[in-house]
Amino acid sequence: MNWFRFSDFKLFVVFCLFQFSCYLAFAQKQFNVLDWKADVSVNTYLLQQMQSQYNQREIKFVSALASNSSTETYIKNIRTKFKDLVGKLPQRADLAAETTGTIRKDSYRIEKIVYQSFENHHVTANLYIPNGKGKFPAVLLFCGHEDLAKATESYQKTAILLAKHGFVVFVIDPISQSERVQLTDDSGKALTRGSTTEHTLLNLSSNLLGTSAAAYELFDNTRGLDYLLSRPEVDATKIGCTGNSGGAMQAIYFAAFDDRVKVVAPCSYLASRAYTFATTGAADGCAQIPTEGLAQLEMSDYLIAAAPKPILVLAGRYDFIAYNATLDSYADLQKVYKSLGAEEKLSIFTVDDGHGISKPKRERVVQWFRKWFYNDEKKIEEQIGEVETDVDLFATKTGKVSTSYKNEINIAQQNIKLFNDKKSDRLSFAKKSKAEKVKTINRLLTLNPDIRDVDAETVGEVIAKNISFKKIVIRKVDEVPMPILVYYPALKPTKVLIWLSDKGKNHLADSASLVKAHLQQGYALIIADLPGMGETADKISENDPKYFDVSYRNAILGLHVGKPLVGLQTSAVLNLIKFVTQEKSLTNLPIEINAEGTAGISALHATFLKDNVAKLNLFGVLKSYKETIDTPLTKNRYVTVIPNVLSYYDLPDIINWIGDKRVSVR
């Protein structure tokens, strides 16, 4: 046998594996129903919804430019809508601010500051103070997603340049960065791969409670301004804010929220929600807030809300933040400032570089603040040597708030507290009538109940393991088409069984033992792919693994437009029920649903909404949203998010309302 070399054996194994994979692919594809690239269907649908919302926003925006007064009304409406979007912020605590150290330089000093935003939640920061007698104008500097946060070299250089030119500068560490990592082990070691991952996971559980990572950052920043205004060196009438990248998004939100800021200069982030979602997709969890699209708020609107305050937009022509989208948003600003007769207060500075607050941008930022706070437009030239290390700038003893403060409450723990605080709200909601509950659930899921029939198109047939399935496409106006497989028994069926799985209908149809067990009982069998599952599941390659979720881009886009995936999927289950009731051979039969994994959440909602579901069997379904709050590191949970649901109910509540006779949890 020495003629059979090991290399030949390896080739033989590879060939066998290839053949087997081809067989599996064929076995799966034979159950496909849709004749297009269905993996883009959900994303395409959501983008169309978003574009419709922003088309309506554009009509209102153009109308607002008709006069000075209509523009001012538009601005007031944005401010109101944004505050509604942010929701209720935590209760303010005593700042209990500490200066834990000082670094003295030739023309300025750096104080290391720790303050509380809410009770036992500490914020670390550095305060740059010019030498000489104040009071000085002050600038809040918000950090992008660099892990070093306030110690990032370009941020230090920005703060130093401002301090050397007569500004007090407050550089605040955001949550999840530098000393403020929230999800850590007992030694303070981060449990995620970086700030954008942690932001996203914290945002998920926050959304269930009606808040967001962006809202927590905004709250920390407003409390930072509270501290800044307490300093005797600061002129409270002359406050500016700037930020780079994710810090620019913080500055953009801050401009719309806090009227104490008088001059704004975001760097390397202003773009367009519509363009970004349509091209690169969702950013990390702190960069957007659910229902912005539903509220018809574009990114430019947050800066418009600050008009006619002086605004400088800084951009890199070769930034991954699309420069054409920056120009589109800037054009909106120009129209508003022209309507208000304040065109001289708006400017854009573009550099032939990429992402970040580079030397030319830093010089222009300082010149901009000097213009408005010192009436001085002289050119600024940066001459800065070495900067401090991150350790030198630490404000806590251990370099981590989690290990420096025994009673530190991180965002995950705050969300548990918030869940407990909302218990009375859930108890009150539980006492409401079913009609009132249905109305609220329809609103939370953006369901549009109607009595119209669904369109069912039979597009083929597949025989697998001696079982014949009809291939049917279920359609309803303004919804994602749903592929289903239907087995009709030869004799009058005794029941209609609907099988749903987050693994997809092909996984179920390919299981001969599972299918035959039901068919032997004379059931009609429907196996369906809910939107975002099976044939319509998004490509994994479209979802960055750092977000811990294979449905991330569609889940976030759905939240943006006010159509959470749970809502799309619940509507699809209701359409299946409608299909059964209008199908002559199935009408008047009892309906039973088996739902596996995340498909169970939409099946649960549909069962509550429709009394004609006789039985629901749940397999491996999320036990409660409380479980998500308690375990924020769990993957693939964005598909389950309903914004602010925990102000009304948790999943066990729905099970209780339906009753044990109709729901079985296995």
Residue 40 lies in a domain: no
339 and 231 in a common domain:
yes
Two tokens at 422?
A: 């909302």
- Domain boundary pick from 373, 391, 420: 420
102 and 230 in a common domain:
yes
Cα–Cα distances (Å) from 559 to 216, 266, 444, 552, in that order, read: 18, 25, 11, 11
Segments forming the whole domain that contains residue 584: 424-665
**What's the CATH code of the domain at 177?**
3.40.50.1820
- Residue ranges of the chain whose pLDDT lies below 50: 1-26
415 and 428 in a common domain:
no
446 and 409 in a common domain:
no
For residues 182 and 410, the answer to whether their CB atoms sit within 8 Å is: yes
Strands, E assignment, 133-253: 136-142, 168-172, 234-244
Buried b / exposed e along 198-225 (16+ C-beta atoms within 10 A): bbbbbbbbbbbbbbbbbbbbbbbbbbbb
Residue 561 lies in a domain: yes
343 and 477 in a common domain:
no
- Domain boundary pick from 420, 436, 470: 420
* 663 beta partners: 616
168 and 151 in a common domain:
yes
453 and 348 in a common domain:
no
Two tokens at 344?
A: 């001289």
Sequence-ordered list of residues with C-beta below 8 angstroms from that of 249, at least 6 positions apart, any chain: 214, 243, 266, 269, 286, 287
pLDDT of residue 450: 75
How do 136-142 and 168-172 pair as beta strands? parallel
What DSSP letter does each residue of 343-355 carry, written as one string? GGGEEEEEESS-S
449 and 512 in a common domain:
yes
Residue 371 lies in a domain: yes
Cα–Cα distances (Å) from 553 to 237, 556, 565, in that order, read: 42, 5, 11
pLDDT of residue 508: 85
602 and 484 in a common domain:
yes
Residue 239 lies in a domain: yes
42/534 Cα distance (integer angstroms): 12
Sequence-ordered list of residues with C-beta below 8 angstroms from that of 388, at least 6 positions apart, any chain: 103, 110, 151, 156
pLDDT in tens, 218-244: 999 999 999 999 999 999 999 999 999
pLDDT of residue 28: 58
SS3 category, 93 = coil
Reported pTM: 0.94
What domain count does the chain have? 2
413 and 429 in a common domain:
no
158/156 Cα distance (integer angstroms): 5
- Domain boundary pick from 420, 436, 464: 420
Which residue do the tokens 């009709």 mark? 488
One-letter identity of residue 456? A
